Structure 1
Amino acid sequence: MTQLLLWWAAVPTLDEPPGMTAWITAFAATALSTYALERRSRTPLTALGQILVSSVLVQVLAPPDTLSLVASVAVMMALFSVTTLSDWTVGLGATAAAAGVQLLPAAVQHGFGSALVSHWLVTVGFYLLASALGAGRRHWLRERQVTKQRLTRAERELGQAVCTERDRLANELHDISAHHLTSVVVSVEAARRLGDSRPELTADALAFASRTAVETQVALRRLVAVMRVDEAPAPAHQSMTASIEALIAGFGRLGRPVSVSLPADLVGPAAEAAHGIVREALTNALRYAPGASVAVRAKRAGEVLHLTVDNSRPPGGIGGDRLGIGSGRGVDGMSRRATAIGGQLSAGPRPAGGWHVHAVLPDARSVRKPAGGRRRNFTREQRIADAAVCGAAVVASLSYALEKASDAGYGIPLRLLLALLLAVHALPLLWRRRAPWSALAVIGATALLWPVLLGIGALPSSTANCLLGGAVVELAAVYGVAAYGRVLRPATAPVGRYVQPSAPLVTYPYPPGQRLSYLSVLATALSFGVSMTAAFAGDGMLFGEPAGPFLVLFLLGEVLLGLGAVFTAAWWAGWLMHRRRRRVLGREDAELTGLLSSTRDMVHSERQRVAGGLQETVLQQTDLVISSAEAGSLQDVAAATRATLAAMRQLLGSLDAGKAPPTAPPTAPQKAAAAAVPGASRT
């Protein structure tokens, strides 16, 4: 459709209307290009080959430019698709092949001379720009794919984490019910059967029931205490030191002497792993060394965090799982946390008694380090895109300079010197993404060299016109600052999308980073405008008149206005791209953070739910067992113990089903035991 509109508007204005061969060629090439563009997402290389063939035919057999414009645009679209969908080597080879193919029609149209080089360089510049856009698009799509995979993995882990926690809690509760309460029931029933022949078994069974019920109650209360102090870790961008210290303080409130020494800025995966390891180590100390002192230490050594948790020999020197609530999975769980982030963990008895846990965790401290003090990693596609943009700027400015140099009749040495100056001027674009402000500063400094070289006679005054092509470098640099420049924020500014992608959007009209970034437009316009004005006025003449102060200032004002408008357009294009990228990344970051937070919250809620169920049902039943044993009734002890086991099984069933544990009404044996034993309803 675009080609037809161009023909309808431009062909009647030509001095010589196209012949039949030109029309047939144009229609056939346009149809072939349209068909190839429609298939470029599925077979990009084949589409590019077809479009190159049609482009060459149009340029050779249909000379008017209006017949070849759309074909040239089609080649750029096909190159964009190739570099987007193919490997970087394929994209680089396709760009080189397309540039080589275009030499033939350029030679047919312009012959072998300076016009050929100038025209071909313009074509190559556009092809490099298309390749740069395709490489950037490939990087963007790869980022979205990686983020999608992370979100999918986080969603999968959301359900698995809760199931894993339920299994772990079920194992803990099963240990208590299987080893403690079942033994009470067995001993009481044996005493009831043999009571007439062996009356001493009754006293032994009652003492055993009372002692075991107390131990069970202590074990359950410690388990509840462990779950109550298990707070959810802080988000990854916040320090978790306070959360770990609160966790340790909760264990200290259980009558445990605990000393702690932690860095004030524990963040990231190492901090989360340390949180889980400390929690598990303290829990094991409660189980296996009740009453022993514990020391928690964390110390950095380069990029590694050394975490140690030591507990002394328990009072009396007797350790082990005397309460019978251990599942034997503590050390394995701590090891998995360490190895999951590339660390390692060792645990074992201390020579002087007690237990020692030592974890070595990689601690990149990515959040603690300022963005400017850490080298950023860029993908191959991003580096290729920067190189392609730099190349496009070089060939675009060089083609303009060579065209002007050809018109002026400059010799080969002077042309080479101009090419070297323009290449050096564009070279900082290679760092436009990783250091956009520095690249802009170097580009501005090299532009200021031009009037100096003209002033000292290294360049003739007429070459000032050749250097105007360097403006495309300034355009690319201004775009780079707006798109990739670090967004700074004064200390008094509100925290919003411009600082933290996961934070809520703050609506104020001109964010501080935007105002700071726009300074690049003013600085670049002033630098380039002063350079060009000084270059043109270096020979003392402007517009054929003596370059007086008034004329120079007038020209500088006009130049600054024009450059300001052009550079502002480039800056807005970069800033809009920056905003779009921040918005998409912020939404994805918020989704991922929400999933991770939901996982922690659900695990934490599950622990609190089970703790509440233990307090509301099982602990009340163990009170009845103790009261019945103190009253000396084997029948009531048996009934209360069976009721406790039933409550425990009900709680275990709720973990298997993933439902909230219902509070069961008192059973008939429980009511009878409560009525027969004074004070049996205490909690």
Structure 2
Amino acid sequence: MGHLRNWLLPAVLAVAQLVAWPGLALAHGETVEAVPLAVGPIVTVAAAAVLGARLRFPVAAALTVEALLTAGFVLPDRALIAAAVAGVVALYSVAVRRPARTAVLVASVLVASGTVRALLLYDSPVDVGGEALASVVVYAGTVGAGRSRRRWLAGRRAAERELARAEAVRVTAATTERHRLARELHDVSAHHLTSVVVTANAARHVGDRNPQLTADALRLAAEAGRETVTALNRLVTVMRTSAADEESPLAERVAALVAGCVRLGQRVDVSIAPGAADLTGPPAEAAFGIAREALTNTLRYAPGATVRLVIRDDAGTLDVLVEDDGTPPPPTDTAQTDTAPTDTAPTDTSPTDTSSTDTSPGGTRPPLTVAPTPVTATAPAPVAARGLGGGRGTAGMRDRAAGLGGTLVAGPRADAPGWSVRARLPRPPTGAGINSVLPRWSWTEATTVLALAALPVVVVLIERPAATVTAVLPAVLHALPLLWRRRAPWTVLLLVLATAWIPAACLALGLLPAEVAWALTVAGVCADCVALYAVAAFAGPPGRTWPAIGPVAVGLASTTVALDAQDGFDTAGADGLGPWFHAFLVIVLTLPLALLAAGVWGAGVFVRRRRERVTRREGSALTAVVWSAVAEAHEERQRIAAELRQAVLHHAHEVVAHAEREDLDGAARQARAGLAAMRELLAVLKGTTGPSLGGTTGP
């Protein structure tokens, strides 16, 4: 179907050209010389054939069609209409499919070629200048239209890529969540339950010779059980957000997260900028994920420390800062082992458990070194304790930031003790959409302004060649504001309506002759229409832009009547009815001009609604995919949380209970059962059969 559409336009142009000339000429009995009769159809067919290749070779097609126009030396102008249209269509394809500089360069070559051809064909400088300026108008407008189309297509391709990326994330959402939680569960099991089993086995073998080791093993079992309960409760807490919460405003989600951390004993100060409070979508999701991971790390590595969470909206960038003061809570019991900021038994020195020697990627936190010495109740120094853990959370936060094209830096604070996480996440400006912030001007605006400024000059050149230079400045001033028509359409419309009075003012001051003033005013109507179109297409919904029809119609009518009054075509002033008659003329002219303005405004509204419909459809599809991914990850978290509560947490509580009853064998048995339950859960999460948990589960 696409191949057929590609050749449909060239075929229609060729048939229309052959019917118009030489078909109609011969049918009307006109005499057609042999050379034009032979060359004309060849040029037409060749132009159609070249135009068919414009999608693959747009630059070559445009230049080849321009070369075919040299047949104008032996053909009448009406024999080259199809070839001229083919050149414009080929240039449009260049503007759509090639960079802006290439399109401008090709358009410049076409203008230069047309000017040279006009120099050879015409003797009058006026004809040559008119041909050159007409080429500028046509080719500049074509490039502007093509660049606008290219931007639209680029937006659609970007939306497709975003949808494909979201779909890929959705497909792997549950798997990714399982793997992430598997790493967390592995850390918990390796650092807590394994130590209970290992220490109990050691006490069983040498307890007769060293009774103190049995007492230490019981104490360690109770403490490790409590640590396991705390760590798993913490993990369940961060999994407790609902699927609906993940589409809630960022401030609400952060508040719920902080409340959960406070319930676990953390002190958190929160500051969220107003511009970021109501944010949703990928930037908000990444910011929340980074904040959640960073706060979870402070719970693990600096429990009880004061944490500061700051989220700022700065120049299109979302800045996230999470830092703690590195101050652990004072110990309340000399026998308590977890006074350092860790989520493990900090001095678990089992000779067989070396699974916790992971290093943080990128050197974020040093590894935990386990010495093969008996278990003691002495807490390590806080600095060393901050090195516990595998550092996988930092890598995950960095991946979240990189996924949006942002950056993340994590490490010790330079200004004070503690740890700091800083992320910068690019995000679209608030209220972005069809009227999103654009560059100050683009090639599309520049080429449009060039065409609209050249058009009145062409008319002046035809009407009054000697005044052409004088007409350039008013024409440029009238079209120049259109450079910013997408960013500030209302302001541009007011400026265009104001500069439309320049010809009338110049006529009143004697700076322009009447013919030039009329030519500038009539040709300048195109600039007024473009400004009105921009208001309808970019300034807001139709209910807010339709009032622009009135000022445009009144402005056009007023400038026309003002020129008419100064040109002396009416005699009403002689009877003293001048002002009233002019007011009546303004009213009479406003009605038909309002119909014209309404048509232009309607075209802008149509384009706006079409764009909104397309972007809304793309947004709905993206939202559906993202929501599906959120829901699947949420369901996976809930399922795993249920498994933890039903199996592992039960055994962890039993470990504590048996240890408090001084039943070391019972504590070891419950620890092994908890490890087995954890192993089964990890096997499901990782898609394997019986993963190792990094410790010994039996003698």
Which TM-score tier does this pair reach, normalised by the shorter chain?
A: 0.7 to 0.9
- Percentage identity across paired residues of the two chains: 32
Q: 1:114·1:402 contact (CA, 8 Å) conserved in 2?
A: yes
Give 1:517's aligned residue.
545
Alpha-carbon distance in 2 for matches of 1:106, 1:14: 29
Cα 1:181/1:132, change in 2 over 3 Å: same
Q: 1:241·1:263 contact (CA, 8 Å) conserved in 2?
A: no
Give 1:220's aligned residue.
232
> Which residue identity lines up with residue 390 of structure 1 in the other structure?
V
> Which residue identity lines up with residue 377 of structure 1 in the other structure?
P
Alignment of 1:47-66 (within 5 A): 47-57=61-71, 59-63=72-76, 65=78
> Which residue identity lines up with residue 245 of structure 1 in the other structure?
A
Q: 2:203·2:214 contact (CA, 8 Å) conserved in 1?
A: yes
Question: Partner of 1:458: helix, strand, or coil?
Answer: coil
Alpha-carbon distance in 2 for matches of 1:546, 1:11: 54
Shift of 1:141: 2.5
Of 545, 559, 581, the match for 1:531: 559
Shift of 1:391: 1.5
Of 526, 531, 534, the match for 1:477: 531
Alpha-carbon distance in 2 for matches of 1:131, 1:338: 38
Give 1:393's aligned residue.
452
Deviations 1:155-212 (A, max 9, x none): 3344556544433321222233334333444455566678999999877766655554
Alignment of 1:42-121 (within 5 A): 42-57=56-71, 59-63=72-76, 65=78, 67-107=79-119, 110-121=122-133
Alignment of 1:480-491 (within 5 A): 480-483=534-537, 485-487=538-540
Deviations 1:643-663 (A, max 9, x none): 32221111111211399xxxx
Of 409, 422, 432, the match for 1:345: 409
Of 249, 260, 271, the match for 2:259: 249
Q: Report the aligned-residue RMSD.
A: 3.9
Alpha-carbon distance in 2 for matches of 1:609, 1:588: 32
Alpha-carbon distance in 2 for matches of 1:14, 1:338: 74
Q: 1:425·1:446 contact (CA, 8 Å) conserved in 2?
A: yes
Of 572, 597, 602, the match for 1:572: 602
> Which residue identity lines up with residue 439 of structure 2 in the other structure?
N
Shift of 1:113: 3.2
User: TM-score, with normalisation over the residues of structure 1?
Assistant: 0.78
Question: Partner of 1:377: helix, strand, or coil?
Answer: coil
Alpha-carbon distance in 2 for matches of 1:174, 1:442: 67
Deviations 1:194-236 (A, max 9, x none): 899999987776665555434433332233234326988765x
Of 304, 307, 331, the match for 2:321: 307
Cα 1:32/1:262, change in 2 over 3 Å: closer
> Which residue identity lines up with residue 330 of structure 2 in the other structure?
P
Give 1:427's aligned residue.
480
Cα 1:109/1:561, change in 2 over 3 Å: farther
Deviations 1:572-597 (A, max 9, x none): 22222222222223333343444444
Alpha-carbon distance in 2 for matches of 1:402, 1:388: 21
Moved more, 441-450 or 551-560: 551-560
Alignment of 1:219-618 (within 5 A): 219-228=231-240, 239-266=249-276, 274-290=287-303, 292-298=304-310, 305=319, 307-311=321-325, 312-316=327-331, 318-321=339-342, 323-324=344-345, 326-334=389-397, 342-348=406-412, 355-357=418-420, 359=422, 361=424, 366-367=429-430, 376-377=438-439, 383-406=442-465, 412=466, 414-467=467-520, 468-483=522-537, 485-487=538-540, 513-542=541-570, 549=578, 552-553=582-583, 555-618=585-648
Give 1:500's aligned residue.
none
Alpha-carbon distance in 2 for matches of 1:418, 1:9: 42
Alignment of 1:117-128 (within 5 A): 117-128=129-140
> Which residue identity lines up with residue 329 of structure 1 in the other structure?
R
Question: Partner of 1:282: helix, strand, or coil?
Answer: helix
> Which residue identity lines up with residue 427 of structure 1 in the other structure?
L
User: TM-score, with normalisation over the residues of structure 2?
Assistant: 0.77
> Which residue identity lines up with residue 388 of structure 1 in the other structure?
T
Deviations 1:446-471 (A, max 9, x none): 22232232233333344443232222
Q: 2:500·2:559 contact (CA, 8 Å) conserved in 1?
A: yes
Q: 1:618·1:648 contact (CA, 8 Å) conserved in 2?
A: yes
Shift of 1:76: 0.5
Q: 2:287·2:320 contact (CA, 8 Å) conserved in 1?
A: no
Alpha-carbon distance in 2 for matches of 1:471, 1:107: 31
Q: 1:401·1:469 contact (CA, 8 Å) conserved in 2?
A: no
Alpha-carbon distance in 2 for matches of 1:371, 1:385: 16
Moved more, 554-563 or 24-33: 554-563
Alpha-carbon distance in 1 for matches of 2:397, 2:191: 25
Shift of 1:81: 1.0
Alpha-carbon distance in 2 for matches of 1:306, 1:158: 25
Deviations 1:309-339 (A, max 9, x none): 3253222183142635944434555566567
Give 2:168's aligned residue.
156
Deviations 1:229-277 (A, max 9, x none): 6988765xx8522321221111112344444344344256776555344
Alpha-carbon distance in 1 for matches of 2:284, 2:171: 23
Cα 1:352/1:442, change in 2 over 3 Å: closer
Cα 1:314/1:598, change in 2 over 3 Å: farther
Cα 1:72/1:363, change in 2 over 3 Å: closer
Alpha-carbon distance in 1 for matches of 2:416, 2:529: 71
Alpha-carbon distance in 1 for matches of 2:143, 2:26: 35
Give 1:18's aligned residue.
32
Give ranges in structure 2 of 5+ residues lacking alignment.
Answer: 1-14, 333-338, 346-387, 690-699
Question: Partner of 1:309: helix, strand, or coil?
Answer: strand
Cα 1:142/1:369, change in 2 over 3 Å: closer
Q: 1:154·1:595 contact (CA, 8 Å) conserved in 2?
A: yes
Alpha-carbon distance in 2 for matches of 1:472, 1:109: 30
Question: Partner of 1:41: helix, strand, or coil?
Answer: coil
> Which residue identity lines up with residue 405 of structure 1 in the other structure?
R
Alpha-carbon distance in 2 for matches of 1:105, 1:204: 102
> Which residue identity lines up with residue 399 of structure 1 in the other structure?
V
> Which residue identity lines up with residue 561 of structure 1 in the other structure?
L
Of 109, 120, 139, the match for 2:151: 139
Shift of 1:362: 6.5
Question: Partner of 1:125: helix, strand, or coil?
Answer: helix
> Which residue identity lines up with residue 534 of structure 2 in the other structure?
G
Cα 1:515/1:348, change in 2 over 3 Å: closer
Deviations 1:366-420 (A, max 9, x none): 3289999x96426xxx7112111112112222211221225xxxxx3x3322233
Shift of 1:633: 6.5
Shift of 1:613: 1.1
Alpha-carbon distance in 1 for matches of 2:480, 2:532: 15
> Which residue identity lines up with residue 404 of structure 1 in the other structure?
E
Cα 1:533/1:166, change in 2 over 3 Å: same
Alpha-carbon distance in 1 for matches of 2:136, 2:415: 74
Question: Partner of 2:618: helix, strand, or coil?
Answer: helix
Alpha-carbon distance in 1 for matches of 2:272, 2:461: 65
Cα 1:528/1:432, change in 2 over 3 Å: same
Give ranges in structure 1 of 5+ residues lacking alignment.
Answer: 407-411, 488-512, 660-683
Shift of 1:342: 4.3
Q: 2:398·2:408 contact (CA, 8 Å) conserved in 1?
A: yes
Cα 1:368/1:295, change in 2 over 3 Å: farther
> Which residue identity lines up with residue 478 of structure 2 in the other structure?
H
